[in-house]
Structure 1
Amino acid sequence: MPFAKAAYLAAAALLVALALAVGAWRLTRPGPPQYLTLPITRGDISHTINATGTVNPVLTIIVGSYVSGVIQQQYCDFNTRVRKGQLCAKIDPRPYQTLVDQARAELDNAQAQIAKDRALLAYAKRAFERDAQLLQHGIVSQDAADSARSAYDQARAQVAVDAAAIEQRAAALRTAEVNLGYTNIVSPVDGTVVSRNVTIGQTVAASFQTPTLFLIAADLTQMQVDTNVSESDIGDLREDTEATFTVEAFPKRQFAGRVVQVRQAPQTVQNVVTYDVVIGAQNTDLSLKPGMTATARIVIATRKQALRMPDQALRFTPSQATPQPALRAGHARVWVLRKGRPLAVEVTIGLDDDSYSEITGGELHEGDAVIVGETAGRANATTVAAPRLRA
């Protein structure tokens, strides 16, 4: 009897352990995958290019100095409104005034010299004519007549030399006067001074390179954003394309603009090729300042109320999917949930705004549930929130 009782207890314990193992296996075995879906909807899609750049005036004039010297007076400062021809600074004119006086004196000397030589020419001419008449009567020798003619020719040549010297001295005087005029630093245009690089008493050296004294923005109500666009996006850009941009000073305000120029000069930095795209913008309230960093959004194309699906669907493939045939050129494959099972559908894609893709062809309709992910579990398919369109 004790042996039978022990065997009975062992069998009961074995049955309990087996039941627990079966229950644990049933609880831990993986169930069918749970699919996450998003609906196909209609909405606006815009293909855009994002770029960063710098706000600059449309026309910036560099005001320099042609002559060297010490800044004697300064009449313009930052933000000064100037008119064309307005005096902004003055270099000490005394060294250049001295050169003007010297050149004028040399010109006066050359004019006095030609007056003297003209008098000698008149005397030499009369002497030559007189000796020529006397030679005909045999009163003077041939040598005396020839000497008088030579003196006349020399006097005439000397007057020509003096005339050339006068031209040379006059040119030197004009050069000295021009250099004297360059001591006045004037604005070449109407505008606003945005940079000043000199102060009173500073020495300006213009020997090898023209120094920059002032930067003048011609019109601050017209600004431009110089942006760098990568070579992968430059093929879609055209002039007169709409664009918007923001600056850090006004993060909640969008400034409107248009592409005014796509420059052909490439810039290569660390093997990355970009092109300068210029966006023109109005700045009537002068909110935009030169040098601000701008984040631009250039709209290449827009579709209104297009049939669209989330981009996650293009990147999803079910874990239990069977091999699919190769896609045709220009087509993409998405998976839709039909009767609780994933079904592959080929579609053609149009515009893409990095959140949604436009559906231009295929057996998909508004309201269809496309699969964007899966999780292990027993629950039914779940619809997740649609992604927000990127601003």
Structure 2
Amino acid sequence: MKRFFPWIALIVGLLIIAFVVRQCRNGSIANYQTATITRGPITQAVTATGTLNPVVNVQVGSQVSGNIAKLFADFNSQVKAGQVVAQIDPALFQATVTQAEGDLANAQAALELARINAKRTQELFAKKTSSQADVDQAVATLHQAEAGVKIKQGALDKAKADLEHCTITSPIDGVVISRSVDVGQTVAASLQAPVIFAIANDLTKMQIDANVAEADVGVVKIDQNVDFTVDAFPMQTFHGKVVQVRNAPITVQNVVTYDTVIGVSNQDLKLKPGMTANVSIIIAHNDDALQIKNAALRYRPPDATPVETKRTETSRAGRPGGGRGGAAHEGDERTVYVLPSGDSHPQPVKIKTGISDGIMTEVVEGLQEGDRVVTAELASTTNAPQPSANPFGGGPRRFP
């Protein structure tokens, strides 16, 4: 039996060595989370928020001060251009007109008397019974009387205009959005005309004033398609088009945005003025794009070269951080890691990217449909290395 001990010891030693080698090899192989390159539609959009407003919104006010005597329109009333919508108490203004008419009549009588005196004085001067000074005085009095008539006529015209302004009419055809006064309320038009009504011309045609960040405004163009939703109809998507990108900046807490006007059709009158719209401006779209997950563009193995890591960080930092998708950077070169079939080590591959929706990115060249790219590295198949057992330790020391 003793002669078999060396062989048994040799076999056990070989088994131990094989086991250790296998464990070391498996410990160096990592598991990877992969994603398959697929084809599908991809849309790059710039997101923003805005407010729905009528295309034409007129604030109807009063040019004179007084008490509101009558109101002929209310909220949601349909009005026509020239229709009377409010009446201010005209009593004081009618009295002013009457007074101005009397002043004008008095001035006209004074003018008639000045003409008679001027004519008589000239006749007397022709007969050598009046001096030149008397003639000059009569002519001057006549001119003053003529000027007085003009002044009184102007005062009468102003009084009549104020009286006409007591009747407030609608300047456009439309619908009353808001009413700011009630019957009996006093309006004062000393420095600024008080607003009585706000009238929208046509609610079937509206616009969104969206605030687009300065990082995204460079890719927003006129006639681009727009999708938006409102909180009142969260499951319905409305559509519009960009009609104007205004150059005036809007700065709020050092954040610069630009007003982008979006035309919207509202034939069913579901949309109402003042609603908040969540806007997605379609920058680019591809119905059959080769897609890669953005996580694959961000993945870098621990043993990646510094050049690749620096290129990735530079490319990532160069992208704007505005709305969804940001600006289109077609032709950007990136490095991804492809895991071939039957191989446990990913291989770096350079690709060119196109548009992106923030989750998926278009692959212009470098990959094919069905390729597996690494998106993350999982834990090793073996547990963390355990400290080797001391053959002479014999376990923890026990005390009686």
Please tell me the TM-score bracket, short chain as reference: 0.7 to 0.9
Shift of 1:156: 2.2
Name the counterpart of 2:352: 348
Shift of 1:32: 2.5
CA distance in 2, matches of 1:322, 1:122: 113
Alignment RMSD: 2.3
**What SS does the aligned partner of 2:161 have?**
helix
Matched, 1:48 2:53: no
Change (3 A) 1:345 1:153: same
Match runs of 1:120-131 below 5 Å: 120-131=117-128
Name the counterpart of 1:137: none
**What SS does the aligned partner of 1:201 have?**
coil
Matched, 1:32 2:34: no
- Do 1:243 and 1:296's aligned partners in 2 also have CA atoms closer than 8 Å? yes
Name the counterpart of 1:309: 292
Name the counterpart of 1:3: none
**What SS does the aligned partner of 2:47 have?**
strand
Matched, 1:66 2:91: no
Name the counterpart of 1:8: none
- Do 1:30 and 1:376's aligned partners in 2 also have CA atoms closer than 8 Å? no
CA distance in 1, matches of 2:304, 2:239: 50
Name the counterpart of 1:256: 239
Name the counterpart of 1:101: 98
Name the counterpart of 1:332: 334
State the aligned residue count.
342
Match runs of 1:1-391 below 5 Å: 30=27, 32-131=29-128, 145=129, 147-319=130-302, 321-323=303-305, 325-326=307-308, 327=311, 330-338=332-340, 339-362=343-366, 364-378=367-381
Shift of 1:318: 2.4
Query: Once the two structures are aligned, what percentage of the paired residues are identical?
Result: 43
CA distance in 2, matches of 1:258, 1:175: 48
**What SS does the aligned partner of 1:106 have?**
helix
Shift of 1:324: 5.6
- Do 2:29 and 2:344's aligned partners in 1 also have CA atoms closer than 8 Å? no
TM-score when normalising by structure 1: 0.83
- Do 1:47 and 1:300's aligned partners in 2 also have CA atoms closer than 8 Å? yes
Shift of 1:48: 0.3
Q: Deviations over 1:264-313 (max 9, x none)?
A: 11112222111111111001111100011111111011123122211110
Shift of 1:231: 0.8
CA distance in 1, matches of 2:336, 2:160: 81
Name the counterpart of 1:136: none
- Do 1:38 and 1:369's aligned partners in 2 also have CA atoms closer than 8 Å? yes
TM-score when normalising by structure 2: 0.81
CA distance in 2, matches of 1:359, 1:316: 16
Name the counterpart of 2:389: none
Could you tell me which runs of 5 or more consecutive residues in structure 1 were left unpaired when the two chains were aligned.
1-14, 132-144, 380-391
Shift of 1:181: 1.1
CA distance in 2, matches of 1:158, 1:270: 67
> Partner letter of residue 372 of structure 2?
A
**What SS does the aligned partner of 1:209 have?**
coil
Q: Which moved further from structure 2: 30-39 or 158-167?
A: 30-39
CA distance in 1, matches of 2:338, 2:280: 33
> Partner letter of residue 337 of structure 1?
L
